[in-house]
Structure 1
Amino acid sequence: MDVDGSERLELHGKVLERKQMLREVFVEFHHAFHRLADRYFKVEGLEVELGAGIAPMRNSYPEVLATDIVATEQLDMALNAEAMSLDDHSARAFYGQNCFHHFPHPDRFFTELERTLKIGGGAILIEPFHGPFAAFLYKRLFKSEGFEMHFPSWETPSTGPMNGANQALSYIVFVRDRQAFERKHPGLEIVHQEICGNYLRYLISGGLNFRQLLPDLLIPVLKVIEKLLYPLRRVLALHHIVVIRRKS
């Protein structure tokens, strides 16, 4: 199928309906968003999820506005994130799950954060991690996306909303080039980063694109294994979270 076509969301929705394991992973992501926003954003304002897709945060927290910026055909999702129709200084929080690496012009997105966020508000991004296992897996997982940790530029030659993205973009911007990010966007600060611990269930569920490897009845066992593997999370994890706050 055409991964940039409108039918992708419909098919992904049907996949999610029959995957309890994956639904639980998404709900845990929602709770992580909410927990970190309460910890780091001590202001009131709009809460917006970018690229909500088929598992929007509003399913867990109805007050969050869901903007499905990947659903419209032939629409570059970055145009929405990089030129948002929101008033200046009106937002408390933006949430993005696996969407940041699809923005071909990250600097425009950061400029919009500085414009739309209240001082003390911020953005929380869940993105592909850059540990050894993640780097090995993501390079081989999708034909439509790469994982180039040494790519020289933040901007990627995307050919569509889902084609041509660099899944290592969060590593490049927030880890490798962190000093450059802080220099170019002094009004924003990275206040927290953490590694997601539900990688085993995410992997075994097959995500939205692959077959599930084990039945849902083993979910409790997999959770125990994840806790036992916690010391190895920097080696095995598949996602990490970056919290950005507007400071001026």
Structure 2
Amino acid sequence: MSSTIQSDPHASYRSVWSTKPILRLVYEDYYRRIAAACVAGETIEIGGGIGQLKNFIPAAISSDIQHSPMVDVVADAQNLPFGSGAISNIVMLDVLHHIEFPVLFFREAERVLRAGGRCVMIEPAITPGSTVFYRLIHPEPVRMRATPFVEGLPNPERDPYDSNQAIPTLLATRDRLQFERLFPNLEFVEVSWFSFWVYPLSGGFKRWTLMPASLGRRVLAFEKRIESALGRMLGFRTMIVLQKKSA
């Protein structure tokens, strides 16, 4: 392994980002959605990775479990190094489904958010339209029988890319009532479902793509017009926004 990869585990992702316009088109839409859902105040990004959120929220503090040049703070989402009630927004893109014990993260989010503060997440959505792709084509597993509320001691040797793509969908649907009982100070203020064709055809962070950016821009605009009607059936993405209740 080269010294560059050792010192920067996100180098290969940034390389693809810089050379793939369709990828930037897709993820810039995600970042805009996240920025629009935030409230005023200090913003912490969990899983900052390649550091693109700052193009949309310049003052955001980027954190990641792995050190890289684009990260401001190295931290585990299950043990955040921030004071209680100190943060206005916690934002995450494709992170929740990688966290070993999501219940530990939500406990920390409940602690560090101020009253009225938000946790804004965009994650894979397991829907009738996306399930074949996520189960058979995407490399990460989908375990719909899992529970998001298992609790344990985080393993420092665990691969940070281990995952279960079903976790966000389970939290927003089947296990939502249980979540609300466990975290009574966190309320759902938005669950939206979107992203139909451009994302899977883009190839994500792979080098290949089945859709040029010129076509992707037009298709993405069409997707936005129909997402409120068809998102729950066809969407590949969900945005979950939680807000800490006032005292």
Please name the residue that 1:75 is paired with.
none
Find out whether 1:146 has 2:141 as its counterpart. Answer: yes
**RMSD over equivalenced CA pairs, Å:** 2.6
Q: Which structure: greater helix fraction? A: 1
The alpha-carbon deviation at position 108 of structure 1 amounts to 1.0
The separation in 2 between residues aligned to 1:224 and 1:244, in whole angstroms, is 26
The separation in 2 between residues aligned to 1:85 and 1:227, in whole angstroms, is 37
The structure-2 alpha-carbon separation of the partners of 1:15 and 1:185, relative to structure 1 and needing over 3 Å to count, comes to same
Structure 2 residue identity aligned to 1:149:
M
The separation in 1 between residues aligned to 2:80 and 2:148, in whole angstroms, is 24
The alpha-carbon deviation at position 211 of structure 1 amounts to 1.1
**Which residue of 55, 59, 71 maps to 1:63?**
59
The structure-2 alpha-carbon separation of the partners of 1:51 and 1:183, relative to structure 1 and needing over 3 Å to count, comes to same
The structure-2 alpha-carbon separation of the partners of 1:114 and 1:224, relative to structure 1 and needing over 3 Å to count, comes to closer
The separation in 2 between residues aligned to 1:223 and 1:83, in whole angstroms, is 37
Please name the residue that 1:49 is paired with.
45
Unaligned 5+ residue runs, structure 1?
73-77
Please name the residue that 1:162 is paired with.
161
The alpha-carbon deviation at position 132 of structure 1 amounts to 1.1
Structure 2 residue identity aligned to 1:161:
P
Task: Give the % identical residues.
Answer: 27
Q: How do 1:98-113 and structure 2 match up within 5 A? A: 98-113=94-109
Where 2:123 maps in the other structure, the secondary structure is: strand
CA contact 2:194–2:232 (8 Å) conserved in 1:
no
Query: Residue deviations 1:103-135, cap 9 Å, x none?
Result: 111111111112111000010010111211222
> Given the two structures, how large is their TM-score scaled by the length of structure 2?
0.84
CA contact 2:41–2:87 (8 Å) conserved in 1:
yes
Q: How do 1:113-132 and structure 2 match up within 5 A? A: 113-132=109-128
Please name the residue that 1:22 is paired with.
23
The alpha-carbon deviation at position 86 of structure 1 amounts to 0.7
Where 2:34 maps in the other structure, the secondary structure is: helix
CA contact 1:22–1:201 (8 Å) conserved in 2:
no
